[in-house]
Amino acid sequence: MTRSLVVELSIIIPTFDEEENVEPLYQALMATVPALGRSFEIIFVDDGSRDRTFERLAAIAARDRRVAVVKLRRNYGQAPAMAAGIEHAQGEVLVTMDADLQNDPADIGSLLAKLAEGYDLVVGWRHERQDKWLSRRLPSVIANWLIAAMTGVDVRDNGCTLKAFRAELIKRVPLYGEMHRFIPAIASTFGCQLAEVKVHHHPRRYGKSKYGLSRIYRVLLDIVVIKTLITFARRPLFCFFSGAAATLALSVLSASLAIIFLKQSFVVFAAVAVLCGSLALFLGFAGVASALVSQYGGNPPVPLQLTVDHNLPGGAR
């Protein structure tokens, strides 16, 4: 990359097959972002689009030095595309948003203002969703409730791509698979101050939506993973502890049953006791393994050391 200036703000936009939305999006950004008074860059990440998205983006980048385009070799998904944009961003503050014009660039200002109050991560909350109720908003409400219950991070709208972060925080957060929905939860393992800001939501103008109902299963699995990761981050040795303890209790119970019913069914209950005991042992070892990984892995989820004398964008301290 030839650009080497450090900017205050990076706007990262993962893009997939959005050839009709790209130019209107750029115009909308240019209408609001310069007025914020900060130096900025816009990073479009072309996630293996099959239409003319990349050509349109290249044309925009040629006109405007503040626009960069990262082209991925094939389609990888939203989280990897975001990660690519984050890696190449040079701003002190990063903002992610959708390429389909459903997020309003005018909201970026309110996100940044909230960030300047001392938060590390500000997420948008689409409080007036413009989607169909049954197939979009209802599953979303259920999912958000579930995620909040499981992860303990109370975010009302996990699906809103419009978020703002401090660079040093988000660059530490691993982002892969479909983790983009859980950035607040993962970021919390590194310790962060989280805030929510109401944002506008526009209905999709051009192009087709890329999501389907089949992602429910994947999201459920991801929730289990996130829960494990959060438990792991807090106490690595004990992330399987509750499972091990419960199984151990079952084992003891079964062993007692075996002794009580000594004559009739000793074998069956004794075998069950042994099975449960072995599972408890296995889960205990799993905890030890996790602790080892945490110790010697590359990026353990320990709290970040933010510099004390922190110059917040906007000048506030």
Partner 1 sequence: MRLISEVPPPSAAPASQADAIPITSVIVPVLHDDGALPGTHRAYRAALEHQPGEVEFLYVLDRGSRQALAGLNRLKRAGEPLTLIVLSRWDGEGAALRSAFERTRGERILILPASPQVDPRDVPKVLEQLGHADMAVGNRLALENSWSELVQARLFRWLVRLLFSRIITDPVCRVRAYRRHVLQEIVGYNVQQHFSPLLAAERGFQIAEVAVRASEPPPGGTPHQGGLSMLLSRLGLTLEMLSLYVVLKFIHKPLRFFGTIGLPVLLIGLVFTGYLGISRLFFGMPLADRPALILGVLLIVLGIQVIALGLIGEIIIFVAGKRIKDYTIDRIL
Q: Contact residues for partner 1 (CB under 8 A)?
A: 1, 48, 57-58, 61-62, 68-74, 76-77, 79-81, 83-84, 88, 172, 174, 176-177, 218, 221, 224-225, 228-229, 232, 239-240, 243, 261, 264-265, 267-268, 271-272, 275-276, 278-279, 282-283, 286, 289-290, 293-294, 297-301
Strand partners, 41: 10
CB 29 within 8 A of CB 105: yes
The smaller minimum CB distance to partner 1, of residues 30 and 279, is found at: 279
CB atoms within 10 A of CB 209: 10
Minimal distance, residue 61 CB to partner 1, in Å: 5
CB of 223 within 8 A of CB of 145?
no
In whole angstroms, how close is the CB of 57 to partner 1 at the nearest point? 8
Residue 1 in tokens? 């990359």
Q: Return the number of the residue (132 or 234) whose C-beta is nearest partner 1.
A: 234
Decide: 69 and 47 in contact? Cβ < 8 Å: no
Pairing outcome for strands 121-126 and 163-166:
antiparallel
Between residues 115 and 233, which has the closer beta carbon with respect to partner 1? 233
Residue 286 CB, nearest approach to partner 1 (Å): 5
**In terms of Cα–Cα distance, which of 130, 127, 120 is closest to 163?**
120
* Complex with partner 1: residue 10 or 294, whichever CB lies closer: 294
The minimum distance between CB 24 and partner 1, in angstroms, equals 20
Centroid of chain to Cα 234: 18
> In terms of CB distance, is 13 or 84 closer to partner 1?
84
- Minimum distance from residue 1 beta carbon to partner 1 (Å): 6
In the complex with partner 1, which residue's Cβ is closer, 74 or 317?
74
| Min CB(74)–partner 1 separation in Å | 4
Q: How far apart are CA 97 and CA 162, in angstroms?
A: 4
- Measured CA to CA, the distance from residue 264 to residue 258 in angstroms comes to 9
**Closest approach of partner 1 to the CB of residue 132, in Å:** 28
How far apart CA 305 and CA 176 sit, in angstroms, is: 23
Burial tier of 139 (Cβ tally within 10 Å: 0-12, 13-18, 19+): middle
Distance CA 29, CA 45 (A): 16
In whole angstroms, what is the distance from residue 173 CA to residue 184 CA? 10
- CA neighbor of 43 nearest in space, from 10, 77, 87: 10
Q: How far is the CB of 204 from partner 1 (least distance, A)?
A: 25
Indicate the residue among 15 and 102 with the shorter CB distance to partner 1. Answer: 15
**Cβ proximity to partner 1, 26 vs 240, nearer residue:** 240
Closest CA to 303 of 190, 206, 194: 190
